A = this chain, B = another copy of it.
Amino acid sequence: MSAIDDLARSLSRLPGIGPKTASRLAYHMVRRDGNLNIDLGERIAGIKDKIFPCSICGSYTETDPCPYCSDQTRDSSLLCIVEQPQDVVTIASSGVYNGLFHVLGGAINPLEGIGPDQLSFSSLRKRVEKGSFTEIIIATNPTDEGDTTALFIKSLFSDIPNLTISRLASGLPIGGDLEYADRLTLARSMRGRTSFK
């Protein structure tokens, strides 16, 4: 049964897929229509030939520049800074933002050896210097690393006049229950309370 075990081992190298799930998936693949496996297998094997980072913003794309950077209808005075390429899709598909993006490639995390040099701050700085941005929106995650990165971005642009620097609001998730909110979220939503008109 080593082909199944080999497949399960390869599957278990994916994030969030433990040995039991990997084994269950491998057996499922033996059972199902083989065309589905060929289709999935070819897509996985070829994904890195089709997708690369946009030379301007760093989001994943099949064309360079990416659809966001080359879209003339987007507001070129707004720049949203995110950690990962998938965050671009999340924010773009929310429908409440129509500006441009910049992907850092992660957050500052000294414990994992990720300092400012490993992230795309120099190209970010150049874009803002050359571009026509009036506001940059920091959309790093509401984590310790995201907070550190947000502070770093703020200091990076402290010398540029007339540039608004904002950050996504943190607080209670919509539909959530106060009873189940953790203390940190509650504290942040209290500090960041907004006037109720």
Contact = CB atoms under 8 A, between A and B. Distances in A.
Interface of A: 1-4, 6-7, 10-11, 13-17, 21, 23-30, 34, 36-48, 50-51, 60-62, 67, 84-86, 89
Smallest CB-CB A-B distances: 9 pairs: A41-B45, A41-B44, A3-B50, A41-B41, A34-B48, A10-B40, A7-B43, A27-B86, A38-B45
A40 B34 CA distance: 15
A28 B14 contact: yes
Contact of A42 (B41, B60, B86): B41
Interface SS, A side: helix
Given A42-B41, A60-B30, A47 B4 contact: yes
B47 A44 contact: no
A44 to B, nearest CB: 4
Contacts of A7: 40, 43-44, 47
